Amino acid sequence: MSATTSQTRRLAFAPNWAMRAALLVLAAYTIWASSRLGLTWDRVAHGMGEGGRLLARMVPPNFERWQLLLEGMLESLQIAVLASAIGILISLPLGVLAARNLSPIWVAGPVRAVIAVCRSLHYVIVAILFVKAIGFGALAGTAALVVASVGFIAKLFAEAIEEISMKQVEAIRATGANVMKVLAYAVVPQVSSRFIGFCLYQLDSNLRNSTLVGIVGAGGIGGTLFAAFKRFDYDFVAAILLAIIALIFLAEIISGRVRAALR
Partner 1 sequence: MTAAPRAAAPASGTVLQIKGLVKEYAAGKPVLKGIDVAVPAEGITAIIGPSGTGKSTLIRCINRLVEPTSGSITLHGAELTGLRGRELRLARRRIGMVFQEYNLVERLTVMENVLSGRLGYVPLWRAWLRKYPEEDIQRAFMLLDAVGLPEHATRRADALSGGQRQRVGIARALMQRPEILLADEPTSSLDPRTAVEVLELLTRLTAAEGVPVIINIHNVDLAKRYARRIIGMSGGSVIFDGPPEELEQHHLRAIYGGEDWL
Partner 2 sequence: MNSITHDPVAPLRREWQRHTPAQRISRWLVWLVCVAAVVWAIRSIDIIPEFLADAPEQMGDMLLRMWPPDLSHYYPEVHNALIETLHIATLGTVFCFVLAVPLALLAARNICTIRPLNALAQLGLVASRSVNSLVWALLFVAIFGPGAAAGVFAIAFRSVGFVGKLLAEALEETNPGPREALRAAGAPWGAEMLKGVWPQVQPAFWGIALFRWDINVRESAVLGLVGAGGIGLVLDDAINFFQWERVSTVLLAILAVVLLAEIVVTRIRARLI
Is the CB of 80 or the CB of 102 nearer to partner 2?
80
Say what the alpha-carbon torsion angle 22, 27, 30, 36 is, to the nearest 10 degrees.
-100
Q: Which of 63, 185, 201, 226 binds partner 1 (CB under 8 A)?
A: 185
Site for partner 2, rule CB under 8 A:
26, 29-30, 33-34, 36-39, 43-44, 47, 50-51, 54, 74-75, 77-79, 81-82, 85, 117, 120-122, 124-125, 128-130, 132-135, 137-139, 142-143, 208-209, 211-212, 215-216, 219, 225-226, 229, 232, 234, 241, 244-245, 248-249
C-alpha torsion sign, points 133, 206, 82, 94: positive
Specify the amino acid at residue 4. Answer: T
How near is the Cβ of 148 to partner 1 at its closest, in Å? Answer: 30
How near is the Cβ of 38 to partner 2 at its closest, in Å? Answer: 6
Decide which of partner 1, partner 2, none touches 186; Cβ closer than 5 to 8 Å per partner kind: partner 1
Decide which of partner 1, partner 2, none touches 172; Cβ closer than 5 to 8 Å per partner kind: partner 1
106-135 residues in contact with partner 1 (CB under 8 A) are none
C-alpha torsion sign, points 162, 167, 172, 177: positive
How near is the Cβ of 182 to partner 1 at its closest, in Å? Answer: 8
CA 199/CA 181 separation, integer angstroms: 23
Contact assessment for residue 208 and residue 127, using Cβ atoms and an 8 Å cutoff: no
Decide which of partner 1, partner 2, none touches 128; Cβ closer than 5 to 8 Å per partner kind: partner 2
What is the DSSP code string of 149-181? HIIIIIHHHHHHHHTS-HHHHHHHHHTT--HHH
How wide is the angle at C-alpha 8 spanned by C-alphas 7 and 13, nearest 5°?
Answer: 90
Decide which of partner 2, partner 1, none touches 242; Cβ closer than 5 to 8 Å per partner kind: none
Q: What share of the chain is helix, strand, coil (3-state, %, to 5)?
A: 80, 0, 20
Q: Which of 50, 64, 170, 252 binds partner 1 (CB under 8 A)?
A: 170
